[in-house]
């Protein structure tokens, strides 16, 4: 039995006329009769019977008709789904992201993508920078939103999404809060909340480099994995921190941001990483949507 025979059975069941069914199927009557006889032999039962008024379904044929229709429907759905997945128009996309991205650009980017590709099911997974890099390399996730730079990775494609300028976060009643800008020398005089070290990029390397370039060492009293955790510890009065200023609108009223003094404000970036080769069609669609979103946001500015 094949799908052609099932379709022939369904069409003849609906027309109950061998000549009309053959026309609809673009077959000769003898070929249709032979095909249906083989189907009856395979199923071991008679599906149609002839009467003085024409053809009619037997009880066995009537019992099989709905299942035959469903089988054809599921076969068509399987074909359509396979085609959509092959072109990236359907399927699942596993997206790794760092926590600070969800607090800034990611909700708008995901909304932009889902509006354009509603058939693709997103599976967002929060991790640290280093874990996302390794998961993309291993193929366990398809694409990642990470803090740049992440170093040299020839097996990854890296695309810039958005710049973030780094500023000092502190309680509103902190002695430095009255200043328009603060220096790293001043920050080094207070307890400091640093990020845990990352193998691949992350804010800890950037902040360490800033202090080293100024010849100072921060008074690290606590460490945290994510930006939101640093903000929480600062709000608890445990020290100062350095965070991307894109978080400004999401800070509690008890905290303020102050720029670092100097000619060049320190910045970091958010970017996309994906395999340099063998990326999925859905991954390519997300990359294209992300670049379109980036262009649209720049035009708005």
CATH code assigned to 92-300: 3.40.190.290
Q: Which residues contact 282 (CB under 8 A, 6 or more apart)?
A: 85, 88, 91, 92, 93, 117, 120, 142
**Contact assessment for residue 106 and residue 77, using Cβ atoms and an 8 Å cutoff:** no
List per-residue pLDDT tens for the chain, 301 residues long: 788 999 999 999 999 998 999 999 999 999 999 999 999 999 999 999 988 878 899 999 999 999 999 998 888 877 877 776 676 666 889 999 998 898 889 999 999 999 999 888 899 999 999 999 999 999 999 999 999 989 899 999 999 999 989 999 999 999 999 999 999 999 999 999 999 877 676 789 889 999 999 999 999 999 998 899 999 999 999 999 999 998 898 899 999 999 999 876 788 899 999 999 878 888 999 999 999 999 987 655 4
pTM metric for this prediction: 0.68
Domain edges within the chain: 3-87, 92-300
- Are the C-beta atoms of 166 and 264 separated by less than 8 Å? no
CATH number assigned to the domain with residue range 3-87, chosen from the 4 options 3.90.1150.10, 1.10.10.10, 3.10.20.340, 3.40.50.620: 1.10.10.10
């Amino acid at each position: 039995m094949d799908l052609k025979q099932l379709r022939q059975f369904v069409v003849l069941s609906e027309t109950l006329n061998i000549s009309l069914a053959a026309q609809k199927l673009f077959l000769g009557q003898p070929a249709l009769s032979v095909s249906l006889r083989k189907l009856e032999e395979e199923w071991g039962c008679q599906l149609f019977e002839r009467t003085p008024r024409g053809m009619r379904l037997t009880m066995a044929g009537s019992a099989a008709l709905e299942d035959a229709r469903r089988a054809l429907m599921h076969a068509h759905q399987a074909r359509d789904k396979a085609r959509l997945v092959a072109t990236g128009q359907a399927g699942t996309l596993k997206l790794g992201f760092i926590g600070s991205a969800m607090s800034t650009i990611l909700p708008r980017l995901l909304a932009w993508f889902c509006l354009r590709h509603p058939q693709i099911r997103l599976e967002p997974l929060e991790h640290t920078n280093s874990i996302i890099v390794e998961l993309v390399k291993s193929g366990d996730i398809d694409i990642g939103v990470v803090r740049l730079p992440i170093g040299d990775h020839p097996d990854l494609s890296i695309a810039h999404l958005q710049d973030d300028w780094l500023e000092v976060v502190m309680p509103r009643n902190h002695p430095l809060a009255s200043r328009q800008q603060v220096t790293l020398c001043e920050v080094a005089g207070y307890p400091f909340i640093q990020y845990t070290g990352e193998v691949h990029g992350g804010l800890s390397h950037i902040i360490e480099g800033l202090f080293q370039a100024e010849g100072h060492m921060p008074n690290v009293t606590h460490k945290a994995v994510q930006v939101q955790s640093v903000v929480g510890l600062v709000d608890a009065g445990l020290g100062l921190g350095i965070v991307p200023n894109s978080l400004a609108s999401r800070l509690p009223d008890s905290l303020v941001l102050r720029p670092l003094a100097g000619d060049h404000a320190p910045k970091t970036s958010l970017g996309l990483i994906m395999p340099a080769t063998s990326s999925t069609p859905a991954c390519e669609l997300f990359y294209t949507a992300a670049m379109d979103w980036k262009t649209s946001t720049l035009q708005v500015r």
